[in-house]
Amino acid sequence: MFLDIHELAVHRVPVRKSYPPGSLDFHSTDYKQVEPLNVRATAELVDGQIHIFGTLHTRLELNCARCLDPVLEEVSRDFDLIYRPVSQVPRDEAGQLSLDETEIAFFEGDGLFLADILAEQINLAVPMKAICRSDCRGLCPHCGANLNYEQCGCEARAVDPRLASLERFKLEWFKKH
């Protein structure tokens, strides 16, 4: 869906869209969309700027930061955004945009793709890291076993000095007998 300023100049545009998984490009491999992304919004033109406000909802799959198992995250987000035409953005003497691109949203030409707005909103809503459960035990740093499912024994061998000395004692005993 393209938000065209010529259409917005005539009337507000209601947005009711559902994007199935795989139809939006999030430019990220850290997560994937696993349910339709539903958006309800209103777009309008105010003083030559595109104003879009509404709400979106979907479900994403991330990997647990500790054990790498899949974790489902529900994303519900309200947004209220203003995009200025790039011609309105102040420029420095060299003609470069003088504002940090991250601080101001703008559009070029006749408007904006809704998909780009949504992908950006999802990227902002994704948690920095997901944990499958608060007591996730993660992966063994030695053998990579998922410690939620199995006890690999690496830690006992590597860390417990009492067991180590017992091992030595047994070895000595076998040598002597």
Q: Please tell me whether residue 142 binds Zn ion under the rule CB under 5 A.
A: yes
- Shortest reach from residue 57's CB to Zn ion, in Å: 25
Question: Of the candidates 39, 45, 50, 132, which one interacts with Zn ion according to CB under 5 A?
Answer: 132
* Inter-CA distances, 156 with 24, 84, 102, 138, 153, Å: 47, 61, 49, 16, 5
Q: Please tell me whether residue 119 binds Zn ion under the rule CB under 5 A.
A: no
Of 40 and 157, the one with the shorter C-beta distance to Zn ion is 157
- Find the part of the chain contacting Zn ion (CB under 5 A) among 48-56, 95-103, 120-128, 145-153: 145-153
Of 41 and 132, the one with the shorter C-beta distance to Zn ion is 132
Of 149 and 173, the one with the shorter C-beta distance to Zn ion is 149
Q: Please tell me whether residue 1 binds Zn ion under the rule CB under 5 A.
A: no
Residue 18 CA to residue 16 CA, distance in Å, equals 7
- Shortest reach from residue 70's CB to Zn ion, in Å: 10
Residue 93 CA to residue 85 CA, distance in Å, equals 19
Q: How many CB atoms lie within 10 A of CB 114?
A: 20
- Shortest reach from residue 142's CB to Zn ion, in Å: 4
Q: Which two tokens stand for residue 11?
A: 């009337």
Binding mask 54-83 for Zn ion (x = CB under 5 A): ----------x-xx----------------
Q: Please tell me whether residue 104 binds Zn ion under the rule CB under 5 A.
A: no
Which segments within the chain are labelled E, that is strand?
A: 2-4, 13-19, 31-33, 37-46, 49-63, 70-85, 106-107, 111-113
Of 38 and 63, the one with the shorter C-beta distance to Zn ion is 63
Q: Please tell me whether residue 139 binds Zn ion under the rule CB under 5 A.
A: no
| End-to-end CA gap in the chain | 83
DSSP-assigned states of every residue in 59-99? EEEEEBTTT--EEEEEEEEEEEEEEEEGGGS-B-TTS-B-S
Residues at the contact surface with Zn ion, assessed by CB under 5 A: 64, 66-67, 132, 136, 140, 142-143, 145, 152, 154
